[in-house]
Amino acid sequence: MSEGTKMTDASVEIQLMNGCLDSPSNENGTMDKQLEPDMKNRLAFLDGNMVPAAPSKPERGQWANKMEFLLAVAGQIIGLGNVWRFPYLCYKNGGGVFFIPYVLFLFTCGIPLFLLETSLGQYTSQGSITCWRKICPLFEGLGYGSQVVVLYSSIYYIIILAWAFFYLFSSFCSELPWANCKNSWNTESCMEFDKARGLSNLTIFENATSPVKEFWERRVLNITGSVYELGNMRWELVLCLLLSWIICYFCVWKGVKSTGKVVYFTATFPYVMLVILLVRGVTLPGAADGIKFYLYPDPARLTDPQVWMDAGTQIFYSYAICIGCLTALGSYNKYNNNCYKDCIYLCLLNSGTSFVAGFAIFSVLGFMANEQKVNISMVAESGPGLAFIAYPRAVAMMPLPQVWAICFFIMIILLGLDSQFVGLEALMTSITDMFPSFFHAGRHRRKLLLFIISVASFFIGLVMVTEGGLYIFQLFDYYACSGMTLLLFAIFQSICIGWIYGADHLYDNIEDMIGYRPLPIIKYCWKYVTPVVCSGTFVFSLIKYSPLKFNNVIAYPWWGYAIGWWFTLSSTLLVPLWMIYAVLSRPGSLQQRLQALCTPASDLPENFSKKNTIYCPPNPEHGLPPPPQTAPEAAAWNNFRDTGPL
Within 13 Å, how many C-alpha atoms sit on residue 342's CB side?
Answer: 27
- Lowest-confidence range among 91-95, 206-210, 533-537? 206-210
Mean pLDDT of 397-407: 90
Question: β-pairing, 554-555 with 549-550?
Answer: antiparallel
**How far is 140 from 128, CA to CA, in rounded Å?**
9
Identify whether the C-beta of residue 353 lies closer than 8 Å to the C-beta of residue 270: no
Q: CA 454, CA 155: separation in Å to the nearest integer?
A: 9
Consecutive H or E run containing 549 = strand 549-550
Integer CA distances (angstroms), 133 to 27, 138, 433, 489, in order: 40, 8, 11, 16
pLDDT confidence of residue 541 = 87
pLDDT of residue 193: 66
Residue range 341-370: mean pLDDT, rounded? 91
**Where are the alpha helices (H) located in 64-140, listed in sequence order?**
66-77, 80-84, 86-92, 99-105, 111-124, 128-135
If one compares 40 and 115, the residue with the highest pLDDT of the two is 115
**Predicted local confidence at residue 46, as pLDDT:** 40
What percent of the chain is predicted at pLDDT more than 70? 82
CB atoms near residue 25 (< 10 Å):
17
**Which pLDDT tens digit goes with each residue over 432-488?**
999 998 887 767 899 999 999 999 999 999 999 999 999 999 999 999 888 889 999
Give the least confident one: 92-101, 188-197, 335-344.
188-197
* Eight-state DSSP code of residue 584: H
Q: Confidence band (pLDDT; 50, 70, 90) for 389? A: confident
pLDDT at 33: 38
Q: Which helix (H) or strand (E) is 554 found in, with range?
A: strand 554-555
pLDDT digits (tens, 9 = 90+) for 190-238: 888 666 555 444 555 556 788 988 999 999 999 998 888 999 999 999 9
| pLDDT of 306 | 84
Instruction: With cut-offs at 50, 70 and 90, classify the pLDDT of residue 640.
Output: very low
Distance between CA atoms of residues 615 and 468, nearest Å: 67
Give the HSE-up count for residue 39: Cα atoms under 13 Å, Cβ half-sphere: 19
Q: Pick 349 or 188 by higher pLDDT.
A: 349
pTM of the model: 0.83
